[in-house]
């Protein structure tokens, strides 16, 4: 049950760079310019009171550091403009990023485990506009709590950066807040590094972008903004151990991400009752940075995410042992090579920015190791730092790591489904975790961390 508390918001303001910056038009990469990334995503950090910081106001500390950090990250203070061919560019106008000061009549202790995604207080802890054109590319809200702690929530425009790029900026902000004159890692734009080859060469299959229009599942008639519910499920050591016991020896050595994603994929497909011949896809968001991939320079803060996918007929996915889904998830991740990345960029550029958010595509991403839980503004590390919602669409799930009030470290998996489907999904997920391969007599409830 969500708490009821009052939040008093001050008047929104714009924070611009502390020094003059270059006014220019900057091109973005083909990965940045995907239709599916024309959205915003919020990150949130909850900080305890720190007696050593007595007399320091987190609102003022962060506001002042923000103006200094934006001298280096000045494109964030510009606005997106759209070309006649619908391609976006950044007009570096120094108009500023949105900033909001707030006070909440609640303590961290009262919030308890509800701070993990999907956070039920998002409308109080992060206000502001989510427009795309002629709107701030970032919006920050700092909310003081009655206990002396505070909440920092930031909404990023996805066209500008992915989670790791955003973390780079927030880390720079924290360093300056603690007295640094410059960020330890200077930002690199160079979006031309992720543009299509000349001529483009699509050398790989890209099922993540293919649209199947003949689905006869219940999705089209049941999904709308009014009937969707968000819930999160926790996967701790007990759940992971139980799932592994259900796998054959050849699939048992996979990663926790593979296990959880396989459970999620099969349970969702069963719950939504797709047509047996419908093509189901599992799309894994993969970081393309690193020498084995795109070899981007240190400081690059644009989007560098790849979305490899594997396909299965709904009937085969639903009726096969879980190991079948685990194998496909693992294959999806490992096909993200350098050539796959270059082929993806060429595919996006030549196919008119295709989307990946259609119903038969489950998009999964592990944000548990991104690092927002390590960002220290002087008050220490947050008790939770990461994604606020964990779900952007009904077919996406961003995993988060959370240490609950009992001290247990669990993987939090947010799910968004029509209300009438969620109960069926819960039942299928419980079955995937707790029922032995050879028997269905064992019953064990899955832990629900939060419900909305």
Look at strands 97-104 and 138-145 and give their pairing.
parallel
Distance CA 113, CA 59 (A): 24
User: Catalytic residue among 40, 158, 215, 358, which?
Assistant: 158
**What's the sign of the alpha-carbon dihedral 19, 25, 31, 35?**
positive
277 belongs to the catalytic site: no
Max Cα–Cα distance, the chain, nearest Å:
69
**307 neighbors 363 (Cβ within 8 angstroms):** yes
Distance CA 275, CA 214 (A): 10
- C-beta atoms surrounding 293 within 10 Å: 18
Distance CA 46, CA 188 (A): 29
Which is nearest to 119 in space by CA: 379, 421, 352, 450? Answer: 450
Give DSSP secondary structure letters for 53-111.
GTT--HHHHHHHHHHHHHHHSGGGGSEEEE-TTS-EEEE-----EEEEEEEES--HHHH
Q: Checking phi first, is residue 40 left (phi over 0); if not, alpha (psi -120 to 50) or beta?
A: beta
Distance CA 387, CA 404 (A): 16
Q: For residue 277, give the DSSP letter.
A: T
Distance CA 327, CA 265 (A): 12
Q: For residue 300, give the DSSP letter.
A: B
The CA-based angle 174-180-186, given to 5 degrees, is 80
158 belongs to the catalytic site: yes
Helix H or strand E encompassing 234 = strand 228-235
Task: Output the CA–CA distances (angstroms, integers) from residue 166 to 43, 173, 188, 339, in the order listed.
Answer: 9, 11, 13, 26
The CA-based angle 19-192-289, given to 5 degrees, is 90
Name the residues annotated as catalytic. Answer: 158, 376
């Amino acid at each position: 049950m969500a708490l009821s508390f009052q939040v008093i918001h001050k008047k929104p303001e714009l924070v611009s760079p502390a020094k003059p910056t270059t006014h220019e038009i900057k091109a973005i990469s083909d990965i940045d310019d995907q239709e599916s990334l024309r959205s915003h995503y919020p990150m949130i950090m909850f900080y305890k009171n720190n007696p050593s910081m007595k007399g320091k106001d987190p609102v003022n500390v962060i506001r002042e550091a923000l103006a200094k950090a934006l001298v280096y990250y000045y494109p964030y203070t510009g606005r997106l403009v759209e070309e006649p061919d619908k391609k976006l560019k950044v007009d570096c106008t120094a108009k500023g990023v949105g900033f909001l000061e707030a006070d909440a009549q609640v303590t961290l202790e009262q919030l308890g485990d509800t701070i993990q995604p999907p956070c039920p207080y998002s409308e109080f802890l992060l206000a502001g506009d989510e427009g795309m054109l002629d709107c701030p590319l970032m919006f920050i809200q700092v909310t003081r709590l009655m206990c002396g702690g505070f909440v920092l929530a930031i909404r990023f425009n996805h066209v500008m950066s992915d989670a790791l790029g955003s973390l780079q900026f927030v880390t720079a902000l924290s360093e300056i807040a603690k007295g640094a004159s410059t960020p330890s890692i200077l930002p690199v734009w160079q979006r031309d590094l992720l543009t299509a080859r000349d001529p483009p060469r699509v050398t790989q299959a890209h099922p993540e972008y293919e649209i199947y229009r003949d689905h006869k599942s219940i999705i089209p008639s049941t999904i709308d903004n009014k009937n969707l519910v968000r819930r999160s499920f926790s996967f701790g050591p007990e759940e992971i151990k139980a799932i592994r016991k259900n796998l054959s020896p050849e699939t048992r050595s996979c990663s926790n991400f593979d296990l959880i994603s396989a459970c999620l994929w099969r349970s969702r497909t069963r719950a939504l009752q797709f047509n047996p011949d419908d093509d189901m896809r599992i799309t894994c968001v993969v970081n393309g940075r690193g020498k084995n991939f795109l070899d981007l320079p240190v400081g690059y803060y644009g989007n560098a995410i790849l979305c490899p996918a594997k396909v299965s007929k709904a009937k085969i996915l639903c009726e096969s042992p879980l190991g079948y889904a685990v194998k496909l998830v693992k294959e999806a991740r490992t096909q993200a090579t350098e050539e796959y990345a270059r082929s993806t960029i060429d595919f996006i550029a030549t196919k008119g920015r295709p989307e990946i958010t259609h119903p038969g595509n489950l998009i999964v991403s592990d944000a548990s190791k991104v690092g927002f839980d390590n960002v220290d503004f002087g008050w220490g590390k947050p008790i939770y730092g990461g994604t606020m919602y964990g779900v952007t669409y009904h077919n996406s799930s961003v995993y988060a790591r959370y240490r609950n009030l009992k001290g247990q470290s669990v993987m939090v998996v947010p799910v968004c489904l029509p209300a009438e489907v969620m109960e069926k999904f819960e039942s299928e997920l419980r079955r995937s975790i707790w029922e032995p391969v050879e028997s269905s007599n064992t019953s064990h409830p899955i832990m629900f961390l939060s419900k909305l």
